[in-house]
Each structure stands twice: as structure tokens, then as C-alpha cells.
Amino acid sequence: MAKRAWPSAAGFALCAGVFLLIALNLNDGALRAFDLSVTGALAAGRTSAATALLSAVTALCAPGTLLIICLGLLVALRQSHYGIPIAVNLMVSVWLNYALKSVFLRERPPEVFRAVREAGYSFPSGHAMAAGAFYGFLIVIVARSDLKKCVKRALITLLSAVIALICFSRVYLGVHYLSDVVAGLAVSIAYLIAFAWLVGLYLRAEQWETPASAARHKSRRMLDSLRHALDGVFAGFKNERNMVIHFAAMALVTVFGFLCGISEAEWLACVILFGLVIGMELMNTAVETTVDICMPKDDPRAKIAKDTAAGAVLLVSLAAAIAGAIIFLPKLWPMLG
């Protein structure tokens, strides 16, 4: 392992270990007593001004707020390759928290301690996970940017403060135990380390392979096939402009799915539809590229091939939209009424 990879690996192991340590001791009497003592002490010391301020802070990690920021970043960073990773990060962090809460099913602190109303399970804290994953990824982007060092420091400090305040607000408002927040932040950092590594591979991936690199890898058939597949996915993500639109729609569906509380079967249907749309768009990109290479532009067959591939994408997208309407309209209609 390269020397520069050791800090990331150690950080991942440490954060994953902290999460597992807490998760395996959720029913421990000492941990519960400690959590209740912290929650009770903060509830006893609340002031109206601090409650109002921290309620506003916690809203920075509300699903709607994160979606608006995500869509804004997709527009602002449309000339870079960070748009799709930002949308994917939001979706994966939501799914990960949903999955973990469904596993542990820990109840929130007693209502007597709560300053605001909150539904759902408590462990791990969704706001802490979202803060660590979403705003943490913005820290990664800033750190890797070409901004001046003083600007980087200022932005990283600001984003770190936002994460810390959001985490504190969840315990202060009495909607999470301290262990929920610590575990949520720990697992989000572990996830972020892995996700940032994958994004690094995505950003460094070359669109075309040289003959020399092909010769080096030809003996590893299965690994070579996997590497070619990843190169193709990365190239399609980078070079197909519609991908940003698809991932923005996927982020929108993910946030609304979380807000509407869709079932596991409905989540599975959404994920399958996501895969079909993205896969068909990648196929469309492959067809268009092949036609551009092999056929002259004035050949009518080139237009037929491209239009047919684009039509396939349109049909799958329409089917996904209809399925989405079937899932979401019955849940959204009462809210609109």
C-alpha cells in the first residue's frame, strides 16, 4: 500500500471501529444512562434564543435544503466533473442512513426532552450522517481545488463548523442521543473516505487505453474486463451531457422517497429504474461514438442509428417517469390537498 494511502485507511478503520463499538452496545445500560444524562442536562439548560438558532442550523441538513444546494452545485459546477459525484453522494448517503436505521430500529429520546417534533428512528443520526457526507464532500472538493490557500482554509473551517453545529443541534434539540450523533458522524466519515477514493479514480480515469497499457494488462482477463467496464462507465459519465440531468432527477427522487417514506419494494423499483435509465444512456453514448467513427455524417443510416438509440433512452425514461408517478402521486396528493 502506498504511504499516502495509510492515513485514509487508518481513518476509515478508526471511524468504522467507533461506529461498530457503539452499534454493538446500544442495549448497554451504561451507554443508555450516559446518553440520557447528556440529553437531560442539555434540555434543562435550553434557552429560547439558542433553541431558535440551533433549529435554524439543523435545517441546513433538512432533505429539502440539501436538495436545493445539490441542484445549485450541479448548475454551478456543470463545466467540471464533480456534478455527478455530488448527486451520487447525496443519494448514497440517504440510502445508507435509511438502511442502517432499518437495521437498528432504535427509538428516539423520550418526548419530554424534545424541543422539536421528529419522526422515524434514532440510530444513527441522519442529520449527522448527511452533514458528514454532504458537507464533508464539499470539503474534499475545496481541498482538491485550485483556490488560494487562504480561501481554502476559510471554506474548510466554515464547512467544518457547519458540520459540528448540525451535530450538536441534534443532541441539544433532544431528537437524538449523543451516541446516535457520534455513530452517524463516524460512519459518514468512513463512507466519505471510501467515496472520495472512488471519485479520485473517476476523475483520473482515461477515456482511451494506450497499446502499452493494454499489453500490460492482457494477462489478467477478468480484472481487465472489469477495468474496461469501469473505464466505460466513467467515460460515459464524463462525456454524456444528459448524465447530469439524470443524476439530478435521481437525487430529487431519492429525497422525495425519504420524505414520503416509501417502502423497501418501492425503493428497489426506483433503484432498478435508475440503473435502466443510466445503462441505456451509456449504450446511447456508445452507439453515437461508434457511428461517428465508422460512418460519414451525410449517410442517412447514421441518423437512423443515432435516433433509434436516443429513442430507446426516451422510452426507458418515460417508463421510469410513469413508474415514479405511480409510486409518488398517491403519497404526494394528500400533501397537496
- CB-CB neighbours of 124 under 10 Å: 28
DSSP state of 124: S
- Count, residues in the chain: 337
Tell me the residue ranges of DSSP E strands in 241-326.
none
From 206, 264, 281, 288, active-site residue: 281
Give the angle 75-81-85 at the CA atoms, nearest 5°: 85
CB 175 within 8 A of CB 42: no
Pick the closest to residue 106 from 77, 126, 136 (CA basis): 126
Evaluate the CA torsion angle 178, 179, 181, 186 in order and state its sign. Answer: positive
d(CA 29, CA 236): 52
Residue 188 is placed in which grid cell?
A: 459518514
- CB-CB neighbours of 220 under 10 Å: 11
Pick the closest to residue 84 from 276, 236, 285 (CA basis): 236
Question: How many angstroms separate the Cα of 20 from the Cα of each of 13, 23, 187, 276?
Answer: 10, 5, 9, 34
Active site residue 264: no
On the CB side of 324, CA atoms within 13 Å amount to: 19
Question: Residue 103 class from Cβ within 10 Å (0-12 exposed, 13-18 middle, 19+ buried)?
Answer: exposed
Question: How many angstroms separate the Cα of 219 from the Cα of each of 214, 216, 222, 246?
Answer: 9, 7, 9, 36
The catalytic residue positions are 281
